Amino acid sequence: MPTITKSENKDGLILVAKPGNMTSHDVVDFVRKKLGTRRVGHAGTLDPLAEGLLIVLVGKYTKLFPRFASCDKEYLGVLKLGEITTTGDCGGKIIKQQDYSLITEEKIREIFASFEGEMEQVPPMVSAVRVGGKRLYNLARKGITVERKSRKINIYSLKIISISLPYVEFCVRCSKGTYIRKLAEDIGEALSCGAHIIKIKRLAIGAFKLSDAIQLDDINESHLQKNTF
């Protein structure tokens, strides 16, 4: 864990345990009201579905976003086999169902292992990536699908925690720019049965851990921290 000291001013960072069903922007607005300052941002968006570690930057620390942009991430995820949805997660409409009954645990483990390492990944339409100056998720809400360029990512570790078909729980350590919902979709495609994500929890951003994060309702100025990394 990087060295941290308390801040005397409204400058610093707060490790927040983001709950599900909130946008990252909702969290920023909440912290603004709690601390009575407008100068608040975050380092690394979490979808409304996702929960877990969100680094909130306050005051002068909002300028430090680039330092976090390249950090590796760690996530806990649960995917469901046999269903493809419009958004790649359980919040979308099911558009295709496929049989997964003949897929063995051995095959699942084999496919998961094949996704470790460097690869190309196409950002999902519900991501915050800009194409033609517009956020993909804004286009997706209008029912518009556009061509996206693939990006190079690295899956350092992809470990299965449990299998209880149709659900597979896993832990992944990955490079910046990795989309867990797309990873779930690609695994489903490789298994020829489809899949979508039903849970995402971010456990770490670089050296910062969810175990050190503050619950949203408990946040106050005493949690502002200065980091010497």
Residues with a catalytic annotation lie at: 47
φ, ψ dihedrals at 84, nearest 5°: -110, 135
User: If residue 95 lies in a helix (H) or strand (E), which one and from where to where?
Assistant: strand 94-97
Is the Cβ–Cβ distance between 200 and 52 less than 8 Å? yes
Instruction: Provide the token pair at 62.
Output: 């909002």
Angstrom distance (rounded) from CA 212 to CA 207: 11
**Cα gap 209→90, rounded to integer Å:** 26
Residue with tokens 């991430």: 73
Strand 73-81 versus strand 167-174 pairing type: antiparallel
Select from 87, 88, 84 the least CA-distant residue to 98: 84
Q: Which amino acid is at 207?
A: A
Please state whether beta strands 151-164 and 117-121 pair in parallel, antiparallel, or not at all (unpaired): antiparallel
